[in-house]
Structure 1
Amino acid sequence: MLGGLWGIITTIVVGLILGVIGRMIAPGDQKIPMWLTIVVGIVAAFIGNWLAGVFGVRDTAGIDWIRHAFQVGAAIVGVIAAAAIYAKIKGGHRAAT
């Protein structure tokens, strides 16, 4: 039980970092709030873990570089998608100037 909870906590912490990395690596200017970047990173951490499990590389000896690559890739895609969606939503609700 505690191992599963610890895994979730570490995934969330890694997700915070992943969101920022994804935002820095993603091409273009990402005009999304930091809270959305963090949420994208957390989701990307879970998706990256899942993908690593699908490919059989979730748990390896030493540092799980391949799993982290899946996580960073998911974060980059997530930040790009979130920026596009956020721009459409925000663009539709602009106040008159």
Structure 2
Amino acid sequence: MLGLIVSLIVVGLIAGALARLLVPGKQDIGILPTIVVGIVGSFVGGFLGYLIFHKDKANGFFQPSGIVGSVIGAIIVLLIYVRVSGRHTVRH
């Protein structure tokens, strides 16, 4: 159980950091929200992968497709987060 939690944190950190690198603009979030975005993105990516390909984690937890799905899910979650919590800027 502890290994699963550590794995989720590590994958969440990697996926969240890659999502922040790939999404243009500045995101004013720290390391903990980055990990949360990555973990939620992993679930989103896994759910979308299941809907599209009808596969689940029976083939193993760490797979290249799972990491890619986690990053794609984290990008989706980060874009939603940026849109929802976007600052109200004044444009002239």
**TM-aligned CA deviation for residue 33 of structure 1:** 1.4
Q: Is the 8 A contact 1:47 1:74 kept in 2?
A: yes
What's the % identity of the aligned pairs?
27
**TM-aligned CA deviation for residue 45 of structure 1:** 2.3
Among 35, 38, 42, the alignment partner of 1:38 is: 35
Q: Is the 8 A contact 1:22 1:72 kept in 2?
A: yes
**Any gaps of 5 or more consecutive residues in structure 2?**
none
- After superposition, the Cα gap between the structure-2 partners of 1:24 and 1:59, relative to the gap in structure 1 and judged at 3 Å, is farther
**TM-aligned CA deviation for residue 47 of structure 1:** 3.0
What is the CA–CA distance in structure 2 between the aligned matches of 1:30 and 1:82, rounded to whole Å? 12
48-57 vs 32-41, greater mean Cα deviation = 48-57
Provide the aligned C-alpha RMSD in A.
Answer: 2.6
- After superposition, the Cα gap between the structure-2 partners of 1:44 and 1:22, relative to the gap in structure 1 and judged at 3 Å, is same
Q: Which runs of 4+ in 1 moved over 6 A?
A: none
Q: Is the 8 A contact 2:14 2:38 kept in 1?
A: yes
**Any gaps of 5 or more consecutive residues in structure 1?**
92-97
1:10 counterpart = 2:7:
yes
What is the CA–CA distance in structure 2 between the aligned matches of 1:68 and 1:10, rounded to whole Å? 12
**TM-aligned CA deviation for residue 53 of structure 1:** 5.3
Superposition pairs of residues 36-75 of structure 1, within 5 angstroms:
36-52=33-49, 55-60=54-59, 64-75=63-74
- Give TM-score, length-normalised by structure 2: 0.69
